[in-house]
Amino acid sequence: MTARRGGPLSSWTGARMWFTALVARSRRPAPGDRAPLPPRPRRGGVTGQYRPLYEYLRDRHANRVVLTFGEIESLVGFRLPTAAREATGWWSDDGAEAADAWSRADRSASVNLLSEVVIYERHEPHASAAEAQTAKSRR
C-alpha cells in the first residue's frame, strides 16, 4: 500500500511523527550539559491541606458558591474536624488554615451548622456610595 493523502497510512505516519517528536523533547541532556533549572517560584495561594478548596473557590465565576460539608470533604479528601460541625467560630475568616483557603480566594464563609451548608460569597471591590450612585445615574 502506498500512502495517500487522507488514506489509512497517512494517519499512522502522523502518529509516528508526533511520537518521535514527543520522545525527542523528553530526552534529558547529559549531566553537565546544562545548568540545572532553578526551582519554580510558588504562585500565591494556599499550600496546605485545604488547597483543593481554595482552587475550587478561586476558579468559580459565581459570586456565591454553596457547598455542603460532604462536598467540601470530597474536595479536600478528608473529614472536616469536629469543631467545624459544632462551632460557627471555626468558619470565621481569621486564623485557621481552612479560613486561609476561602480568604485567599477572596471569599467569606457563612455556615448553617444544622443543615451542614456553607455559603462562600465573593468580596466586592469597595466603592464609595457616591461612586456607586454616579455609576447608576450614567446608565
Asked, for residue 85, whether it belongs to a domain, the answer is yes
DSSP bridge pairs for 108: 121
Output DSSP code: residue 1: -
Asked, for residue 115, whether it belongs to a domain, the answer is yes
Asked, for residue 14, whether it belongs to a domain, the answer is no
Asked, for residue 57, whether it belongs to a domain, the answer is yes
- Average pLDDT along the chain: 75
Asked, for residue 43, whether it belongs to a domain, the answer is no
80-98 confidence digits (pLDDT tens): 999 999 988 899 866 577 8
Phi-psi region of 86 (alpha: psi -120 to 50; beta: other; left: phi over 0): alpha
What is the number of other CB atoms lying within 10 angstroms of the CB of residue 136? 8
Asked, for residue 137, whether it belongs to a domain, the answer is no
The secondary structure of 6-43 as a DSSP string is TSHHHHHHHHHHHHHHHHHHHPPPPTTSSPPPPPPPPP
The whole-number pLDDT of residue 98 equals 86
Tell me which residue range forms the domain holding 55: 51-122
In the predicted model, is pLDDT for residue 38 greater than 80? no
Amino acid type, 60:
R
49-72 confidence digits (pLDDT tens): 999 999 999 999 999 999 999 999
Report whether 118 contacts 69 (CB < 8 A).
yes
Asked, for residue 69, whether it belongs to a domain, the answer is yes
Burial 23-59 (b: 16+ CB within 10 A, else e): eeeeeeeeeeeeeeeeeeeeeeebeeebbebbebbee
- How are beta strands 117-122 and 64-68 bridged, if at all? antiparallel
Higher model confidence: residue 127 or residue 17? 17
Asked, for residue 37, whether it belongs to a domain, the answer is no
Helices (H), the chain: 8-26, 51-59, 69-76, 82-86, 97-104, 129-138
Domain count, the chain: 1
